[in-house]
Copies of this chain bind each other. A is one copy, B any other.
Amino acid sequence: MAPSVQVQQVDTSADSITESVKKIALGVGRTGDGTSNFKGGFADSSVDKLPEPTRKRFEKYGIDISRGYPERPPTEEIPVFIDDATAIRNTPWEFIDRGSKADPEKKALLGAAKEVKHLTKHIGTEIVGLQLSELTDQQRDELALLIAERVVVFFRDQDLSPQKQFELGEYFGKVEVHPQQVHVPGIRGITVIWPELFKKFGPITFRKTLNHFTSRWHTDLVHELQPPGITHLHNDTIPEVGGDTVWASGYAAYDKLSPALQEFLDGKKAVYFSANKYVDRENPLKGTVHIEREHPIIRTHPVTGWKSLYVNRAMTSRIVGLEPGESKVILEYLFDVFEKNLDIQVRFNWKPSQPGLGTSALWDNRISQHFAVLDYEGQEPRHGTRVSSLAEVPFYDAESKSQREALGLSLD
């Protein structure tokens, strides 16, 4: 019944265990929790399912999909152990937000647009009549400022190469290169956002979408030492109906709190974790674990100087210094502030006005959460390329103000 082990013959040295774990990781592969894969390259190619608009875009701009699609980093570069994974980008570097150099009136950008539509009062603006690929540096700086103020900015009808998208991302910050996730072949900084790939973990079903890891409120890459500021998702293939994304403003969420709760959270830290999981070298059998990082739970935005509530249901585990039960009820409340106050959200349908063109959303992860609506249930193609521009080490400035305070709006 129970396995018979010859204890005295077992080599239990640290080196031996490390080698055993690597062997298991590569032998078993995916760890079954749907988040990690230690095999790289083109092993899981889904190139034959690539939507036509995406294929045309790649062809037009010289993306080589002849070896497969999408690409994953080489196996030997994918970390197996949590200490190796945590060590990636673990050294601070200096970031200067492009928005800080912009004309506060943003005349070069807004003046050039055919139309500037504020989609709601507190979040979301659509710029009509400009191509992202053709923005001047001055306009880019002003766009960075506009995003910092409006949280998310949209551009429909874009003809945008992956290369240009990457270049714009590099302009805004340091492009994030994921150690494990799939990317556009040949360009490791462009993550592929393609629900077709989720089907490997099981069907996307109507009843369970809310539990699905792809369709829930989250903020990208919060576990990084310097998490992304601007993320730019360009969807080149969009369902005929549905597939909206919803964003919520962290500035406005902060302003929803009572002064007493604001004061309680000001200066506190929370623990944020990665989507992917890795093996604990000291205890390989306890299960793969997330990379964890502490950041201020209230962040100050370096350009606007406004405070923002920096939590999200998917990847914030606890408030530092509280008992587990205390942290749980307060975080649950804060998640609901984002999710239940519809006046601090914008819901966006990606459909372009001209078929064949794509739509871009550029949002600031420092001051937002988002949620991808799966109402099309993976029955229609949707494909996007995402570039995340890493920004500053999150900080809290005790002298900074809330958005409403800074704008002189009523605080009641």
Interface string of A249-265 (1 = CB under 8 A from B): 00010011111110010
**Contacts A/B (CB < 8 Å), 8 sampled:** A3-B84, A25-B285, A206-B255, A207-B412, A258-B322, A260-B321, A343-B374, A347-B347
A241 to B339, CA, bound (A): 21
Task: Please tell me if the beta carbons of A203 and B321 are within 8 angstroms of each other in the complex.
Answer: no
Q: Is A404 interfacial (CB-CB < 8 Å)?
A: yes
Stretch at the interface among A10-18, A59-67, A94-102, A393-401: A10-18
In the complex, the answer to whether B342 meets A373 with C-beta atoms within 8 Å is: yes
User: What CA separation (Å) do A208 and B2 show in the bound complex?
Assistant: 36
Report A310-343 residues with CB < 8 Å from chain B CB: 319, 321-326, 329-330, 332-333, 336, 339-343
How many copies of this chain? 4
Q: A192 an interface residue at 8 Å Cβ cutoff? A: no
Asked, given contacts A3-B79, A7-B26, A258-B323, whether A215 binds B285 with beta carbons under 8 Å apart, the answer is no
Contact A121 B257 (CB under 8 A): no
Q: Which of B21, B27, B371, B404 contacts A12 (CB 8 A)?
A: B27
Q: Measured between C-beta atoms, what is the minimum distance from A285 to chain B in Å? A: 5
Whether A56 is near chain B, meaning CB under 8 Å from some CB there, is no
Using known A-B contacts A33-B286, A121-B375, determine if residue A76 contacts B5 with beta carbons closer than 8 Å: yes
A349 neighbours in B (Cβ, 8 Å): 119
Interface 9-mer from A138-146, A160-168, A276-284, A357-365: A276-284
Choose one: B2, B347, B375; the contact of A179 (CB below 8 Å): B2
Which residues in A have some Cβ–Cβ distance to B below 8 Å? 1-5, 7, 10-13, 16-18, 20-28, 31-33, 75-81, 84, 87-88, 118-122, 179, 203, 205-211, 215, 241-242, 244, 246, 252, 255-261, 264, 268, 279-280, 282-288, 319, 321-326, 329-330, 332-333, 336, 339-344, 347, 349, 371, 373-377, 404, 409-412
Whether the Cβ atoms of A210 and B288 lie closer than 8 Å is: no
Are B287 and A2 interface neighbours, CB within 8 A? no
- Name the B residues within 8 Å of A287 (CB-CB): 285-288
